[in-house]
Amino acid sequence: MSETTTPSPDAEPAAIETPDAVETPDAVETPTAAPAAVETPAAVETPTAAPAATATVTATRPRRTDRPIQTVGRRKEAIVRVRLVPGTGQFTLNGQPLEKYFPSKVHQQLVREPLVMTEKAEGLDVHANLRGGGTSGQAGALRLAIARALVEFEADDRPALKKAGFLTRDARETERKKYGLKKARKAPQYSKR
């Protein structure tokens, strides 16, 4: 009975396409070729339709100005959560201004780079919550979070920020110390005699 059931589904597509073939022996050979021919156009049509829908969604994505843009940036052990809102270019980092939180001019410049590049330094306020890591790690994480927020704010800025390397997460982490060694790779002093 299972033999009769299995050919039935194959026979139905064959019956649909066999009026052209008319002969039964051809109808037996046709099901083998027919499902492949039927499945191939369906497989071709499905991928073609999906990218078109994705491209449409990306192109019609509206600019977000109705609510704050929130992003996260990470660097070493530092995690930074940023809220980007329209304003006058103020930085509030853990309740403190940028100059007080990062006294170093190098870190201040590092943090401002994405805003200066996209020419939005005076039009957006940055509110950030910084946790973990040291000053350098926090500054790098803050720069990444601001760059990600700018891309959400205006997608046209993405190529310039990507080319400058502001959207790349620095994956370097501290290597663990190994037993038998002084640090991650430093071996104890070796005496030949």
Strand residues in the chain grouped as ranges (E): 69-75, 78-86, 91-93, 96-97, 124-131
Query: Other C-beta atoms within 10 Å of 107: how many?
Result: 19
pLDDT, mean of residues 104-110: 96
Third-level CATH fold of 69-164: Ribosomal Protein S5; domain 2 (3.30.230)
Count of alpha carbons within 13 Å of 175, Cβ hemisphere only? 8
pLDDT, tens digit (0-9, with 9 covering 90-100), for 110-141: 999 999 999 999 999 999 999 999 999 999 99
Torsional sign, CA 81, 83, 89, 92: negative
Tokens read off for 178: 């190994």
Domain ranges of the chain: 2-53, 69-164
* Higher per-residue pLDDT: 64 or 80: 80
The answer, yes or no, to whether residue 46 has pLDDT greater than 80, is: no
81 neighbors 142 (Cβ within 8 angstroms) = no
pTM above 0.75, yes or no: no
Q: Give the three-class secondary structure for 161.
A: helix
Band of residue 74 on the pLDDT scale cut at 50, 70, 90: very high
pLDDT, mean of residues 173-182: 97
